[in-house]
Amino acid sequence: MKIEEKLIWLQPLLLKQFKKTVQQKQLAHAYLFEGVSGTGKKEMSLWLAASLLCKESSGNLPCENCQNCRRVFEHQHPDVIEIVPEGLSIKVEQVRNLKAEFSKSGVESQQKIFIVEDVEKMTPGAANSLLKFLEEPEGSAVAFLLTTAKNRILPTILSRCQLVHFQSLTKKKLMAELETRGLSVNQASLLVQLTNSVEEAIELNGDEWFQEAKTIIWKWFTLITNKDNQSFVYVQTTIMPHFKDRDAHRRLVDLILLAYRDILMLHYGTVDVLAYARYQKELDHIKTEYSSKAVVQAIEAVLLSRKKLESNVNAQGVFEQLVLQLMK
């Protein structure tokens, strides 16, 4: 699938707007693309980069077939510089290198394009260094900053970029695409609650760890809702050996939260958005044992556990305490 075809599916209105901007040669020198993962931010930045470098363009739009376009999309064009976090953050040295590149003319053209992913992960030093560049742009350069967390970016950086919001895919649209890719309704129903990206959903579906995680969490959920004391021991014997790091702990919270959310949705009569659709019969039974008020209290307890984990409280202790709260 060509990038333009993908963008027509992901962001048809934005693509239409940017086509007009490109045709009129009115691209700004710095953009901040913000939106959740999988909404086409990277694809749009590459498509725009290709529009500036394409040798066979029609109306300034990229052909997607020439050598320049292919190299841009394959991340091999020397005049397109891409920066991603090194480890957990973007370091000041990475931004200094970027600024050094900005000061040079293009290798094969007068144009240079810079794409910075996860810009919210910049260290304070890196952010300040980037700010200085944005205040004094050099040459024929365009920068695309990509983020999933606009609120974590310095206001001074925001003010120097043209902000573009990338709308999330609707759950219905994402479900339909996953089904065309061969996933069952039961598989897709949970995945669309965890990600807005088709690629990430497919990757999760093929992940053995995730498949086992789903089974573990559902069993834990049924133990808790049945007021079974084994649910406390289950944390040590099964939960902790499988959910070993912070990312896994976050995934656990998401999965257990969705189970309680499903019960609440059943109370409201909205069965078409169940994450655990394959277990609807069991969820219907659990609903009869829990009032909507009790479910809301359970959700609040799970959300409190998430906050504790973010504050680096011991995970096993957090999950054991959660069991006690949920079984009251």
**186 in a structural domain:** no
262 in the same domain as 146: no
* Percent of the chain whose pLDDT exceeds 90: 69
**pLDDT at 105 exceeding the cut of 70:** no
Domain membership of residue 23 as a residue range: 3-165
Question: Residues 319-328: pLDDT tens digits?
Answer: 999 999 999 8
**121 in a structural domain:** yes
Question: Residues 201-243: pLDDT tens digits?
Answer: 999 999 999 999 999 999 999 999 999 999 999 999 999 999 9
212 in the same domain as 161: no
Question: What region, left, alpha or beta, does residue 163 occupy, with left being phi > 0 and alpha being psi -120 to 50 degrees?
Answer: beta
Mean pLDDT of the chain: 91
**pLDDT at 67 exceeding the cut of 60:** yes
So what's the pLDDT on residue 132? 74
153 in the same domain as 40: yes
Which of 68-82, 112-126, 288-302 has the weakest average pLDDT? 112-126
**pLDDT at 94 exceeding the cut of 90:** no
Question: Residues 13-58: pLDDT tens digits?
Answer: 999 999 999 999 999 989 999 998 889 999 999 999 999 999 888 8
Of residues 298 and 36, more confidently modeled = 298
* Percent of the chain whose pLDDT exceeds 70: 96
111 in the same domain as 48: yes
160 in the same domain as 265: no
Q: Residue 13: which CATH number?
A: 3.40.50.300
Q: Residue 312: which CATH number?
A: 1.20.272
So what's the pLDDT on residue 285? 96
So what's the pLDDT on residue 272? 74
266 in the same domain as 118: no
Q: How many domains does the chain have?
A: 2
| Alpha-carbon separation of residue 306 from 110, 279, 300 (angstroms) | 49, 25, 10
36 in the same domain as 142: yes
Of residues 120 and 91, more confidently modeled = 120
17 in the same domain as 129: yes
pLDDT interval class at 106 (50, 70, 90): low
Question: Of the candidates 105, 136, 165, which is a domain's last residue?
Answer: 165
Average pLDDT over residues 52-77: 92
147 in the same domain as 39: yes
134 in the same domain as 57: yes
